[in-house]
Amino acid sequence: MVSYKTVAGVFSQISGIYDRFLGLVSAGRIHSLQRRLVELTCKGDAVLDIGTGTGEVLLKAKERAGRPLVGLDPADGMISVAKKKCGECFFVIALGENLPFRDRVFGSVTLSLVFRHLQDQRAFLAEAKRVLKRGGRVGILDVSRFMGTGFLVFLMGTLIRPIGQLIFGRDKWDFFIHSIRESHTPEEVKEMLEDSGFGQIQIEKRLFGLIHIIVGVKTA
């Protein structure tokens, strides 16, 4: 298991190019995907964005959500970039499995390309449910495990590796391979949400099933 210290170090080091990288690997679709995540999840109340990175989800939530807009991330380099982009947002360096907030204070919790990086996803879901108000939503945008995931991991570890290492360095590229390997199917995420007490679960598959957006509601 990759430690959070390693994860934070990787993302801090690439914070300056992260937005361009996401735009490249998503063929420019990341912004529309994040806007859809916000549309499905944020309903005019306070927002907590887990693994906020450069703050893009919070920027897209500004017109739909209430206040405050809060971003949480273990990588101080990412937080530094996010603060420059969203002056009215609040940012905290912390982990998703141990949220430093009172019970029932947020209307929505969002995660964009983060869920598979969490070391204890069920612990996070318990925390998300705790800080959400009744009727609040947790929205997850992430890479899906599919039939070709093993082959993609193979390519990243062989043919694509020289290019990846040239751009990001050996340790960072190995981390990205690990993150793809740890992806889930939408059905697996749905089961975790149900086991954690979320209901009214909605699933959307995008980019030919490579990406999923899943939203669950705190019903009690």
Residue 111 has pLDDT above 90, yes or no: yes
Of 11-15, 94-98, 103-107, 133-137, give the lowest mean pLDDT range.
11-15
Residue 123 maps to which CATH number? 3.40.50.150
Q: Which long-range contacts (CB under 8 A, 24 or more apart) does 62-67 make?
A: 62/86, 62/88, 64/38, 64/39, 65/38, 65/107, 65/108, 66/107
Residue 89 has pLDDT above 70, yes or no: yes
Residue 135 has pLDDT above 70, yes or no: yes
Q: Looking at residues 162-189, what average pLDDT do you find? A: 80
- Name the DSSP class of 139: E
Residue 138 has pLDDT above 80, yes or no: yes
Taking only the tens place, the pLDDT of each residue in 181-199 is: 778 999 999 999 999 999 9
pLDDT at residue 106, as a whole number? 97
Residues 33 and 79 grouped into a single domain: yes
Residues 108 and 125 grouped into a single domain: yes
Other C-beta atoms within 10 Å of 151: how many?
A: 10
Q: Looking at residues 201-212, what average pLDDT do you find? A: 90
Using a 10 angstrom Cβ sphere, with 0-12 exposed, 13-18 middle and 19 or more buried, the burial of residue 203 is middle
Residues 71 and 161 grouped into a single domain: no
Q: Are strands 211-218 and 198-206 parallel, antiparallel or unpaired?
A: antiparallel
Q: Looking at residues 94-115, what average pLDDT do you find? A: 95
Residue type, 59: L
Task: Report the chain's mean pLDDT, rounded to a whole number.
Answer: 87
Strand intervals (E) in 43-121: 47-50, 69-72, 90-92, 106-112
Taking only the tens place, the pLDDT of each residue in 13-24 is: 667 777 787 777
Instruction: Report the sign of the C-alpha dihedral through residues 64, 100, 112, 107, in that order.
Output: negative
Q: Looking at residues 119-127, what average pLDDT do you find? A: 95
pLDDT tier at 2, thresholds 50, 70, 90: low
Which of 104, 51, 40 has its CA nearest to residue 79? 51
Residues 154 and 171 grouped into a single domain: yes
Higher pLDDT, 173 or 141: 141
Output the six-digit token pair for 67.
Answer: 């206040």
Q: Looking at residues 92-109, what average pLDDT do you find? A: 96
pLDDT at residue 6, as a whole number? 64
Residues 16 and 88 grouped into a single domain: yes
Rounded to an integer, what is the distance from CA 10 to the centroid of its chain? 15
Q: 191 lies in which domain range? A: 4-145+184-218
pLDDT at residue 176, as a whole number? 75
Which of 116, 102, 121, 117 has its CA nearest to residue 198? 121
Structural domains in the chain (count): 2
Other C-beta atoms within 10 Å of 27: how many?
A: 8
Residues 129 and 151 grouped into a single domain: no
Could you check whether the bond before residue 68 is cis, i.e. omega within 30 degrees of 0? yes
